[in-house]
Amino acid sequence: MIFLNELKEEKVVYSEPDWEVYLKKYYDTFDRGHDREHAEAVVAFADKLAKKHDPKNRRIIRAAAYLHDIGISKGRENHAQSSMTLILQDPELKKFYTKNELKMVAYAAAEHRSSTGKPKTIMQKIISDADRISAPNPVKRAYLYGVDNLNLQGEEAYDRAGAHIVEKYSKGGKGRRVYFPESEKEFAKKYDKIIKAYKKNDIATIKKLVNESLTEEDYYDILWRNGREREKEVE
Ligand SMILES: [Fe+2]
Ligand SMILES: [Fe+2]
C-alpha cells in the first residue's frame, strides 16, 4: 500500500533535476570564484528576486541559476555561450523541462555576464543581478590585487583597496549597475561602509573591513608571500 504523503514526497523530490549532480560535476571542479558556494548564492538571490518580480517562472529561474556557469568547463573566455550550448544538449535536463523552458534557461545563462551579456527579459535580468551580487568579495579582491600584482604593503595596500572600491562600486559606478532595487540594496550593504571610510580617509576602518573579508587561508598566503619576498631581499 502506498501512502499519499509518500507519493507527495516523491513528486517534490523528482520535479527537478538532482542539482547535487551538477554541483559536483561542474562547480566543485572550478576556481574559487565559480565554486558551489557561488552557484548556491546565485540560486538563493535569484529566487528571492523571482518570488517578487517573476513568480510564474521561479522554477525556470532556479534552473538557470544552477546552470549559468557550467560553461566554465569549456574555458573561461566564452563561458556564457558554452553554458547555453551545454544546457541545450543535456539529456537529463530534457526530462524535466519542455523545449521552450530549456531555451529560456539557456538564454538566461547566455546573458548572465555583466561584461558581455545583454539581458532583455525579466528572467535574464534576474540571473545577471544575482550573478553580480554573488561575485567573490571585491573588497578582498581589490586588496589582494594590490598585494600580489602591485607589490603594495601595509597602509598603501589598504588605501588602494578603498580607492578601487570607490571608483568601481560607488552609486552609478561600473560595477554597481543592477536592474532591481533589491540588488542595489545588497550592494549598499556590501560597499557603503568602505566607501564612506575612504572618503573620510579613515584607514583604520578600511583596514578592519578588508581584514574581515579575508579568510585564514588568505592570511597564510599573504604571510608566505611576504616571507618569500624578504628572503629574496636577503639573498
Ligand atoms: Fe559567469
Ligand atoms: Fe556566475
Domain ranges of the chain: 7-133, 138-234
Question: What's the CA-to-centroid distance between 100 and ligand 2, angstroms?
Answer: 23
Provide DSSP, 155-175.
HHHHHHHHHHHHHHHSTT-GG
Place of cell 554541483: 23
Nearest ligand (C-alpha, residue 130): 2
Q: Is the pLDDT of residue 5 over 60?
A: no
Instruction: Return residues with CB closer than 5 A to ligand 1 (ion).
Output: 69
pTM of the entire predicted model: 0.82
% of the chain with per-residue pLDDT over 70: 89
Residue 12 has pLDDT above 50, yes or no: no
- Ligand minimally distant from the alpha carbon of residue 39: 2
d(CA 46, CA 50): 6
Helix 36-53 and helix 58-67: axis angle, to 10°?
A: 160
C-alpha cell recorded at residue 13: 523530490
What does the pLDDT look like over 169-182, one tens digit per residue?
A: 998 888 888 999 99
DSSP per-residue codes, 85-140 = HHHHH-TTGGGTS-HHHHHHHHHHHHT--TTT----SHHHHHHHHHHHHTSS-HHH
Q: Which ligand has its closest atom nearest to the C-alpha of 40? A: 2
Q: Check residue 60 and give its pLDDT.
A: 97
76 has pLDDT over 80: yes
Ligand nearest to the CA of 117: 1
Nearest ligand atom owner, CA of 129: 2
pLDDT bracket for residue 227 (50, 70, 90):
low
Measured in Å, residue 138 CA sits from the centre of ligand 2 at 14
Between CA 34 and CA 136 the distance in angstroms is: 8
Per-residue cell: 220? 597564510
pLDDT higher than 70, residue 1: no
Look at residue 229 and tell me whether its pLDDT is greater than 80.
no
Q: Given a cut of 80, is residue 224 above it in pLDDT?
A: no
State the average pLDDT over residues 103-123.
95
Tell me which of 85 and 3 has the higher pLDDT. Answer: 85
User: Is the pLDDT reported for residue 15 higher than 50?
Assistant: yes
Q: Are 83 and 110 in contact (CB under 8 A)?
A: yes
CA of 198 to the centre of ligand 2 (A): 28
Does 200 score more than 90 pLDDT?
Answer: yes
Task: Quote the ligand 1 centre to 227 CA distance (angstroms).
Answer: 34
| pLDDT at residue 136 in the model | 81
Q: Helix 154-169 to helix 203-213 angle, to the nearest 10 degrees?
A: 80
**104 Cα to the center of ligand 2, angstroms:** 17
| pLDDT beyond 50 at 235 | no
Say how many Å lie between the CA of residue 68 and the centre of ligand 1.
7
Considering the segment(s) 7-133 as one domain, its CATH architecture is Orthogonal Bundle (1.10)
Compare 216 and 74 and report the one with higher pLDDT. 74
Q: Which ligand is closest to the CA of 127, given by its number?
A: 2
Cα–ligand 2 centroid distance for 36 (angstroms)? 10
Ligand with minimal distance to 75 CA: 1
The pLDDT of 166-170, averaged and rounded, is 92
pLDDT for position 226:
66
Q: Note the ligand closest to the C-alpha atom of 41.
A: 2
214 pLDDT above the threshold of 80: yes
**Distance between CA atoms of 76 and 30, rounded to whole angstroms?**
10
CA of 171 to the centre of ligand 1 (A): 23
Model confidence band, residue 48 (pLDDT cutoffs 50, 70, 90) = very high
Which residue from 53, 110, 38 is spatially nearest to 81, judged by alpha carbons? 110
